[in-house]
């Protein structure tokens, strides 16, 4: 007669292999993009191609130093530009007259 002997092993006696920590992704790390070049709006006007128009500065006559930049066609507009625009420093509309951009 043969006997079937079953052996019961407790789970606490089985040696466990240590689990490895999760591996990082294999993709290379993303590098941040370089910052976009920022230019003053006046320099953007100067950086354009050559044409019949030139960039000018409209300077406040209130004496605050506030100015707007725009373009002027010198072949069609030979006089100095003057515009009534808003000056946020004095908080009212004042006369702005043309000045050269240095």
Say if 13 falls within a structural domain: no
pLDDT at 61: 96
Residue 27 inside a domain? The answer is no
Does any domain span residue 51? yes
Tell me the per-residue pLDDT of 1-20, one tens digit each, with 9 for 90 and over.
Answer: 556 666 655 555 656 666 77
Q: What is the pTM of this model?
A: 0.51
Sign of the dihedral through C-alpha 45, 50, 51, 53: positive
Provide the number of structural domains found in the chain: 1
pLDDT 10s digits, 49-65 = 667 889 999 999 999 99
Distance of CA 80 to the CA centre of its chain: 35
Query: Residue 65: which domain range?
Result: 40-102
């Amino acid at each position: 007669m043969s006997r079937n002997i079953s052996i019961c092993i407790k789970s606490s006696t089985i040696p466990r292999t240590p689990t490895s920590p999760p591996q990082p992704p294999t993709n290379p790390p993303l590098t941040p993009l370089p910052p976009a070049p920022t230019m003053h709006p006046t320099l953007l006007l100067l950086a354009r191609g050559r044409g019949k128009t030139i960039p000018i500065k409209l300077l406040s006559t209130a004496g605050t130093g506030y100015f707007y930049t725009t373009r002027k066609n010198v072949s069609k507009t030979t006089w100095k530009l003057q515009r009534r625009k808003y000056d946020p420093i004095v908080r009212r509309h004042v006369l702005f007259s043309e000045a050269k951009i240095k």
